[in-house]
Structure 1
Amino acid sequence: MNETATDKNVARAALLDTATLSDALDRLGIAGQCHRIKGRDPHMHLAGRACTIKYGPASTPPGTVGDYIDDVAPGTVLVLDNDGREDCTVWGDILTEIAHRRGVAGTVIDGICRDVALALQLEYPIFSRDHWMRTGKDRVQVEAVNVTVNIGHARVQPGDILRGDADGVIVIPAEHEQAVLEAAEEIHAAEMHIREAVRRGMRLDEARRELGYHQLQTRRR
């Protein structure tokens, strides 16, 4: 069974967009916005808990780039830290096919991927800095699995919630997920009330003032 379907907080995150979650993170003073990481297609979206992979320069002889895939649980988001490198890939069509078949929720890369056509065909979500065809074989290798990594200047630990949509990727630290989700749900509800008020004929500035729009994401102590 897909773990997303049985994980209540992942399901809650999946109902919220990354912009709303970003505002909630700002309110709580948490840096969870993954800078410059975006979907290879704006229709891609994902939600799930992180399985992290840390890459480093290849040794002599070089190590593996992607043999971890058979041990990844369904519903997991693979989070690959290649130190932002854009000169070689750490993800391609074989990994996409296997991850899709295994029910992996998606892949997030601080770096680049290749073979985007298959990901689009299978509707498998990949979020990365960019895509390019040059292989990572003999250039990088897996250094560690399920360790703390950095994705777009955001800290990601195994088990953190990742949410991705057309605006990018958010990481929700496991130790703060309840507070982040509650704040995001409050912000979402306030914004929906503003829209409903405007549809009834209220001025936007009045609706925003009445519902405290300009303070929704303000840091609270």
Structure 2
Amino acid sequence: MTTTLSQQTREKLKGVSTATLCTALFKRGLRNQFIQDVRPLSPKRTNMVGQAFTLRYIPAREDLNTLDVFRNPEHPQRAAVERCPPGAVLIMDSRRNARAASAGSILVSRLQVRGVAGVVTDGGFRDSPEIAGLDIPAYHHRPSAPTNLTLHQAIEINVPIGCGDVPVFPGDVVVGDNEGVVVIPLHLAEEIAAEAVEMTAYEDFVTEEVLGGATIIGLYPATSEAPREKFAEWRKKNNR
């Protein structure tokens, strides 16, 4: 079984929507892959795509979660920022709790410089205006100024987590667009990407037809041969 996302599949996933990916996953019985209540801090021109590198928070225990923990180079939050591989996505289980930050602009800037593909939390980021201005795609629930130490205790990295009610396993493929984030099991990524490219081409054709006055009946979905033939002509003309 493959353990690495191919560059070809990565490029395909950069050009399809999370909506289309959710439909392709639904066809395979996967209904809970879109991370709930997580949004981009700022729009980006291309999708975030990378394999998951995870960080898990638990509720903070006050005697163990003081500022002194940051002196430890093996502190899980710090370790995650320094060990997340280039091209991967750092994805955090913050218990869907945005009352304290999951990270701030300095840590996210470090991820950007290290070549990480993106960062996701089901909690919140502090310094959110600064993070929004970075090139790295970042997704959270809402801004949150208090330090993570207030409520979150970083406990371990690169283990299975839940993020926005979605199970995320290390190595899963994480795709984010300007709508949100979807998680694809790695073993399905290649076939999902190929199908999504095909679906996107047909949906672009349908959009042109509908904007030109066509009815969706028989067209979307294609339930007769006529739209399929017209799509084949459109595809040839548009090199799709």
Q: Please, what TM-score do these two structures have when normalized by structure 2?
A: 0.78
In structure 2, the partner of 1:219 is none
1:115 to 104, 124, 127: 127
Secondary structure at the residue paired with 1:150? strand
In structure 1, the partner of 2:28 is 28
Distance in structure 1 (CA, Å) of the matches to 2:115 and 2:88 = 8
Give structure 2 stretches of 5+ with no counterpart. Answer: 70-74, 225-240
Native 8 Å contact 2:99 2:151 kept in 1: no
Distance in structure 2 (CA, Å) of the matches to 1:201 and 1:81 = 46
Alignment length (residue pairs): 209
Farther-moved stretch of structure 1 (185-194 vs 70-79): 185-194
In structure 2, the partner of 1:160 is 172
Q: Please, what TM-score do these two structures have when normalized by structure 1?
A: 0.84
Secondary structure at the residue paired with 2:92? strand
Question: What RMSD over aligned residues (CA atoms) do the two structures have, in Å?
Answer: 2.4
In structure 2, the partner of 1:57 is 59
- What is the percentage of aligned positions where both structures have the same residue? 28
Secondary structure at the residue paired with 1:181? helix
Structure 1 209/24 Cα, relative in aligned 2: closer, same or farther at 3 Å? closer
Distance in structure 1 (CA, Å) of the matches to 2:105 and 2:5 = 26
- Note if 1:102 corresponds to 2:114: yes
In structure 1, the partner of 2:189 is 177
1:67 to 40, 58, 78: 78
Give structure 1 stretches of 5+ with no counterpart. Answer: 213-221
Alpha-carbon deviation of 1:95?
0.4
Structure 1 172/46 Cα, relative in aligned 2: closer, same or farther at 3 Å? same
Q: Residue deviations 1:123-174, cap 9 Å, x none?
A: 3221111111011125322211111111111111111111111211100011
| Equivalences for residues 1-221 of structure 1 within 5 A | 7-30=7-30, 31-43=32-44, 45-59=47-61, 60-62=63-65, 63=69, 64=75, 66-68=77-79, 69-198=81-210, 202-210=214-222
